[in-house]
């Protein structure tokens, strides 16, 4: 047998033992489900918190600003693994919700701090003349914000927000720390069963890559739609 | 229609308006001229409360508008404002720019607003641009849309803050034409501008503002032809 044939035979055997034997591929498929569930809920929570904190920060009201500032400061200053474990093992220690929900809350709280900064920058990026034009027509502050400033801010922040979502999805690869079997953990599990790291790690990487590629392409379509008013 | 009594405006220690008293009657076209930094734009912005007067009283239709508890939004609906930088809403089509406020403020139904919008666009010669976005228009076209947008609220008064200063020279004429047309229709207008020819032709009254005070006020013939104040003479000698 030539070297190539040997390599190929090894590759196939490795592939078989990593993914096919004992239906191990199912672990990865279940892992994809966990990753997606946690990510989607976390993104939703992150946007909600992000908007609230951003509004706190742009509001003129001092106490709200201070709360927003402290929150952002703590979240940005500590590792997300630490936050996840703290929320799971300390804050939710006696709350018996499903693991993935608690994990999603942790990631949402983390993401909210970054989202709030993105949104704040987006609101400030809209020219003040827009606000003046809205107010001069007789719109109140809320109408001006919601109909004129926010729609333009959304367009400006969309790429940064997409980037944050992608970072968040990859960040969820640490949920194994609180005992959830996501894609990464499933890969680890297979590796420790077969003692062969290459296949499970490659498989994990490919799955994340494909997920994120799909998301990126979808978001690009959304962005194109948002930018339709820029066409000259 | 507009009465201003002893209007003062300070930004920190800087006094921008230093006691302005002025009556603007219905149907008047008042053109405000003066050197940059003289306070003419600030005066205009005080009239629709984009700037808060430091001291003094402003009345519109005998209602004091710079008092606490006045509904600022209702007051502003009586006054259309046109800005130097147009400030069209870039995320909305031209028609939506025009109909947003009347519909949102429940002055018109969507259908009425669109009909009115079409009328106004015809009036400013942009009927075919209803579905375009602001980025697709030239500066002159944008400013004409901005005028139509302000008119859509059926204001009693139109305020113009250097409407042609950000335009390329060849586009100034088309905007001034729309404003002349508006003046002839009897609209009460207050215009801050550097277009002296336009002021001379259209103004029923010219105000010369310098150092936060009205230095001279009169018909265009008086102010341009026979200025009394030394500062007016100096200013006109530089710009005419």
Nearest CA among A32, A35, A28, A23 for reference residue A186: A28
Residue in A closest to B85 by C-alpha: A129
Chain A residue set in contact with B, beta carbons under 8 Å = 127, 129-130, 132-140, 143, 147-148, 151-152, 155, 228-232
- Taking the whole predicted model, whether its pTM rises above 0.90 is answered as no
- Predicted pLDDT of residue A61: 82
Q: Residue B126: CB partners within 8 Å, gap ≥ 6? A: B94, B141, B144, B145, B148
pLDDT tens string B124-170: 999 999 999 999 999 999 999 999 999 999 999 999 999 999 999 99
Rounded distance between C-alpha atoms, residue B3 and residue B64, angstroms? 9
Rounded distance between C-alpha atoms, residue B96 and residue B133, angstroms? 9
- Predicted pLDDT of residue A135: 96
- Pairing, β B79-82 against β B157-161: parallel
How many other β-carbons are positioned within 10 Å of the β-carbon of residue A70? Answer: 10
Contacts of A225 in chain B (CB under 8 A): none
The residue-averaged pLDDT of B1-15 equals 93
Nearest CA among A171, A198, A173, A195 for reference residue A186: A173
How many other β-carbons are positioned within 10 Å of the β-carbon of residue B63? Answer: 12
DSSP at A20? I
Nearest CA among A173, A34, A170, A183 for reference residue A99: A34
Show the DSSP H helices in B70-209 as ranges.
72-77, 94-104, 110-123, 139-151, 169-184, 196-202
- Which residues on neighbouring strands pair with residue B44, listed in sequence order? none
Nearest CB partner across the interface for B73, out of A140, A148, A228: A140
pLDDT tens string B78-119: 999 999 999 999 999 999 999 999 999 988 999 999 999 999
Number of C-alpha atoms within 13 angstroms, CB side, residue B85?
Answer: 10
For residue A232, pLDDT over 80 is answered with: no
- Predicted pLDDT of residue A129: 96
Rounded distance between C-alpha atoms, residue A215 and residue A169, angstroms? 10
How many other β-carbons are positioned within 10 Å of the β-carbon of residue A18? Answer: 24
pLDDT tens string A10-40: 888 888 888 888 888 888 999 999 999 999 9
Q: CA Rg, chain B, in Å?
A: 18
Nearest CB partner across the interface for B91, out of A138, A151, A232: A151
pLDDT tens string A179-216: 899 999 999 999 998 898 988 999 999 999 999 999 99
Are the C-beta atoms of residues B196 and B164 closer than 8 Å to each other? no
Residue written as token pair 């927003």: A68
Give the confidence band of A231 by pLDDT, cuts at 50, 70, 90: low
Average pLDDT of chain A is 91
pLDDT tens string A52-93: 888 888 777 888 889 888 999 999 999 999 999 999 999 999
- Predicted pLDDT of residue A229: 76
Those of residues 160-179 in B touching chain A at CB distance below 8 A are: none
What DSSP string describes B56-70? EEEEETTEE-SSTT-
Measured in angstroms, the CA of B221 and the nearest CA of chain A are apart by 33
Supply A72's token pair: 């952002």
> Would you call A147 and B100 a contact, using CB atoms and an 8 Å cutoff?
yes
For residue B198, pLDDT over 90 is answered with: yes
Residue in A closest to B159 by C-alpha: A136
Residue contacts between A and B (CB atoms, under 8 Å): 74
Those of residues 65-104 in B touching chain A at CB distance below 8 A are: 73-74, 76-77, 79-81, 83, 85, 87-93, 100-101, 104
Contacts of B149 in chain A (CB under 8 A): 137
**Residue B34 three-state SS:** coil
């Amino acid at each position: 047998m030539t070297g190539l044939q040997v390599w190929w035979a090894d590759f196939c055997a490795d592939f078989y033992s990593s993914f096919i034997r004992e239906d191990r591929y199912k672990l990865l498929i279940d892992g994809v489900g966990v990753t997606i569930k946690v990510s989607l809920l976390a993104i939703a929570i992150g946007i909600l918190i992000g908007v609230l904190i951003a509004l706190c920060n742009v509001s003129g009201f001092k106490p709200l600003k201070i709360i927003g500032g402290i929150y952002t400061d703590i979240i940005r200053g500590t590792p997300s693994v630490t936050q996840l474990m703290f929320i799971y093992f300390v804050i939710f220690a006696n709350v018996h919700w499903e693991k993935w929900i608690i994990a999603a809350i942790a990631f949402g709280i983390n993401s909210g701090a970054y989202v709030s900064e993105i949104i704040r920058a987006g609101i400030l990026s809209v020219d003040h003349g827009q606000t003046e034009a809205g107010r001069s027509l007789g719109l109140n502050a809320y109408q001006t914000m919601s109909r004129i400033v926010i729609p333009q801010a959304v367009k400006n922040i969309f790429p940064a927000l997409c980037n944050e979502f992608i970072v968040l999805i990859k960040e969820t690869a640490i949920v194994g720390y609180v005992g959830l079997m996501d894609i990464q953990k499933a890969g680890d599990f297979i590796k420790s069963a077969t003692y062969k790291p290459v296949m499970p790690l490659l498989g994990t990487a490919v799955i994340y890559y494909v997920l994120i590629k799909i998301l990126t392409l979808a978001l690009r379509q959304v962005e194109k739609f948002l930018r339709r008013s820029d066409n000259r | 229609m507009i009465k201003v009594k002893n209007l003062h405006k300070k930004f920190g220690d800087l006094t921008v308006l230093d006691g302005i008293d002025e009556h603007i009657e219905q149907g008047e076209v008042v053109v405000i001229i003066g050197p940059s930094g003289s306070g003419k734009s600030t005066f205009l912005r005080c009239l629709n409360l984009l700037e808060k007067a430091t001291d003094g009283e402003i009345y519109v239709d005998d209602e004091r508008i710079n008092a606490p508890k006045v509904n600022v939004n209702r007051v502003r609906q009586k006054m259309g404002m046109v800005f130097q930088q147009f400030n069209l809403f870039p995320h909305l089509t031209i028609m939506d720019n025009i109909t947003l406020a009347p519909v949102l403020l429940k002055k018109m139904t969507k259908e009425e607003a669109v009909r009115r919008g079409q009328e106004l666009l015809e009036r400013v010669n942009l009927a075919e641009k209803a579905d375009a976005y602001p980025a697709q228009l030239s500066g002159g076209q944008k400013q004409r849309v901005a005028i139509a947008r302000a008119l859509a609220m059926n204001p009693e008064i139109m305020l113009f803050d250097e409407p042609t200063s950000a335009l390329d020279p060849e586009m100034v004429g088309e905007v001034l034409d729309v404003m002349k047309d508006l003046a002839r229709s009897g609209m009460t207008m207050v215009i801050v501008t550097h277009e002296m020819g336009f002021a001379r032709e259209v103004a029923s009254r010219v105000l010369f503002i310098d150092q936060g005070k009205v230095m001279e006020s009169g018909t265009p013939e008086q102010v341009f032809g026979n200025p009394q104040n030394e500062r007016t003479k100096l200013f006109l000698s530089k710009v005419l």
